[in-house]
Amino acid sequence: MPLLEVRGIRKAFGGLQAVKHLDFTVEPGEILGIIGPNGAGKTTVFNMIAGYFPPDAGEIIFKGEAIAGMRPWEVSRRKIARTFQLARPFGDLTVLENVMVGGFLHQGSREAARQKAEAVLRFVGMSPQADVEAHTLTVVDRKRLELARCLATDPELLLLDEVVAGATPAEASAMMDLIRKIRDNGVTILMVEHVMRVIMGLSHRVLVLHHGETIAVGEPQAVSRDPAVLKAYLGERYGQA
């Protein structure tokens, strides 16, 4: 049984069909990458899964339960965590306190939440910055902090929205290692990414969105050779360069 099953979801904003008709599944333990040109509907798909707005039609099934139309916190409590394209830490709080906010979801006491947060910070390698005020972090560290916050909620499915955007190649490689480590700990990952090296290197399968529809899905190598993908996505970009 797939961990997440998306069946025929649709979303329009006024006259704009952001997502026309979309079916896909995420299998337990895999990393599924979603790529597509700007405006393809990638973030819209995330927002529907994570409960930020309901799909106009279609179903989203997580572990056998229909979650379409639930509010963000209800989705989060069912162990789906998400990051945002623009990572915004809770600026007044320290790095540790930021992660504790996530830790409180399944830990009753302040002490337990703190221990959870410390363990997560060790895992993502941010322990040295635990007492730093979060608003002073670099863009890349903000993304790592956001990831840590998510992990503190013990997710089974993690939705990553462009976590390496703005990173140097070295930082991107470190982030890739971290994402692999998270997957190895049993967290299934659905990620949206623009950086080809990252998405091709990490994903077990890649889904290509264009104008709100799937134009290809499969293993990274196969997808990258798909004529439809080259035309719609890679062709467009490389043609301009």
Partner 1 sequence: MANRHGNRSLPASLAGTAALLVLLLLPLLVRDEYYLHVLIGSLYFAYMASAWNVVSGYTGQLSLGHSALSGIGGYLSTLLFINTGLSPWIGMVIGAACASAVGVLIGWPCFRLRGPYFALTTIAFAEILRIWTENTEEILGIELRGAQGLSVPLKGHSPALFQFQSKLPYYYIVIAMLVAVMAITWWMERSRLGFYLKAIRADQDGAEALGINSTRTVLAAMALSSFLTALGGSFYAQYFRYINPERNMGLDLSIEMALMGIVGGQGTVWGPVLGACLLTPAGEISRATLGGKFPGLHLVMYGLVLVLAVLFLPKGLIHPIRRLAGRRAGRQVGKRACPA
Q: Residues in the site for partner 1, rule: CB under 8 A? A: 50, 52, 71-73, 76-77, 81-82, 84, 88-93, 96-97, 100-102, 104-105, 110, 113-114, 118, 125-126, 128-133, 136-138, 140-141, 144, 146, 149-150, 152-153
Least Cβ distance, residue 81 to partner 1 (angstroms): 7
Least Cβ distance, residue 18 to partner 1 (angstroms): 18
What separation in angstroms does the CA of 20 have from each of 8, 42, 82, 191, 233?
A: 8, 12, 23, 20, 18
What separation in angstroms does the CA of 111 have from each of 103, 107, 124, 127?
A: 10, 9, 20, 17
Least Cβ distance, residue 176 to partner 1 (angstroms): 15
CB 149 within 8 A of CB 99: yes
Least Cβ distance, residue 210 to partner 1 (angstroms): 27
Is 21 or 106 the residue whose CB approaches partner 1 more closely? 106
Least Cβ distance, residue 67 to partner 1 (angstroms): 14
Least Cβ distance, residue 136 to partner 1 (angstroms): 5
Give dist(CA 143, CA 111) in Å, integer: 25
Is 130 or 200 the residue whose CB approaches partner 1 more closely? 130
| Long-range pairs, 109-114, Cβ under 8 A, ≥24 | 113/152
Tokens 């002490």 sit on residue: 111
| Closest listed residue to residue 166, CA positions, set 141, 145, 203, 196 | 141
CB 4 within 8 A of CB 62: yes
The secondary element (H helix, E strand) that includes residue 175 is helix 169-184
